[in-house]
Amino acid sequence: MTDPVARPRKQEQEPATTTITELAPGVLRSELPIDMPGLGHVNCYFLEDDRGVAVVDPGLPSKDSYVALEARLKSAGFPLQRVHTVIVTHSHPDHFGGAGWLRAETGAEIVTHSSFRLMWDPTEPPDIDVDDVASLRDPEPVGGGEEPIRLGRRYPWEPTPWGGPGVEIPLRRRLWFRAARTFPRLRKMPVPSVRLDEADTISLAGRDWIAVHTPGHTDDHLCLFDPTEGCMLCGDHVLPTITPHIGGLGSYRDPLGTFFDSLDKIGSYGPQVKLALPAHGRPFTDLAGRAQEIKEHHAGRLQKLRDASIEMDRPASVMEMSTHLFAPRSLGGMADSETFAHLEHLRLAGEMERVDRDGVLEYVLTD
């Protein structure tokens, strides 16, 4: 599958419409507005059964988003009281936002992967299920089984372990983060009531769906597969025309390698998947092909880092390496985090060395 040509913008960036589309028996797509860098809407899927409706990824934690969600449910013919379940594919605000509100109003179950964790949520123990997660990933860790560089900070705008600045976040959103961390209940932060493990099943749209854990974009990313109709709810794991952000600061030692494994895992369903239902952009058919394309995109970035290191012929910081991967307008904490994930992947593969120069990590190709 190739990127669509001659479009004014990527489909994930298109603003939300009010259209409701039926994609498979009992599976409806609606779109909610979001204002996040590079994204114009989030898909909120409605899965209808005899009991009522399950809602997948109910948008941002804002009044506007919740009003839009209520309107979409209504135009699809679902009174709010019929919502019995909310599925949250992963712990990003454009996906969990409306979950706590829906639960407060309807008593709906909140379903997530078992490792679901809001990074700033003080009511969650740190490193929940990390042992389980690690055992899935690294039975025999490469590189001596060292611990990952952990997120020893509370907010994403704080300085990073590689010695660079954090993510630039506007003041309004910083205040929201602080309030959500300090008053999680008041801000209706979601608390999962059903945590799914790999291969668990859940009944949605009148049939069983299988939980597929796909860490990479976040540690707790959950996809759901419907073997009856061949639908795969794939959240942000695989998007139709943009590549999901892979940060370097999760629980995994090698977030990029972990993401590759999760792409292989989703690709292994092959033609069993007839329709991929992404969280942004339009549903698409060739999930395995798109997963492979995303892997190739990252392989290209790894090669750019090798080439940059050869050209410079000296150790270079994450921030400097970042300039070889990203356009100037994209540089900053998010870009650095992604560069860090790529550099650590090369280091753990034995291709790069890491040196600590007064708190700033530098990387160079091994001889």
**Phi, psi angles (nearest 5°) of residue 294:** -70, -40
- Span from 150-158, 167-175, 276-284, 300-308 in contact with Zn ion (CB under 5 A): 276-284
**Phi, psi angles (nearest 5°) of residue 166:** -80, -165
| CA distance readout (Å), 193 to 142, 147, 190, 240, 349 | 36, 30, 9, 31, 39
3-class SS of residue 87? strand
Decide whether 190 or 315 has the Cβ nearer to Zn ion. Answer: 190
Closest CA to 118 of 33, 43, 188: 188
Measured distance CA(110)–CA(167) in Å, rounded: 29
Cα 179 to chain centroid distance, Å, stands at: 22
94 binds Zn ion (CB under 5 A): yes
92 binds Zn ion (CB under 5 A): yes
Per-residue contact flags (x/-) with Zn ion for residues 188 to 227, judged by CB under 5 A = ----------------------------------------
* Residues of this chain, 234-273, that bind Zn ion according to CB under 5 A: 236
| Cβ neighbours of residue 25 closer than 8 Å, sequence gap 6 or more | 205, 206, 229
41 binds Zn ion (CB under 5 A): no
Per-residue contact flags (x/-) with Zn ion for residues 148 to 187, judged by CB under 5 A = ----------------------------------------
- Span from 94-102, 111-119, 135-143, 268-276 in contact with Zn ion (CB under 5 A): 94-102
- Span from 90-98, 107-115, 281-289, 318-326 in contact with Zn ion (CB under 5 A): 90-98
Number of residues binding to Zn ion, judged by CB under 5 A: 4
Smallest gap from Cβ 278 to Zn ion, in A, equals: 9
- Span from 66-74, 137-145, 230-238, 325-333 in contact with Zn ion (CB under 5 A): 230-238
72 binds Zn ion (CB under 5 A): no
- Span from 62-70, 114-122, 164-172, 278-286 in contact with Zn ion (CB under 5 A): 278-286
> Burial of 246 by CB count in 10 Å (0-12 exposed, 13-18 middle, 19+ buried)?
buried
Contacts with Zn ion by CB under 5 A lie at 92, 94, 236, 279
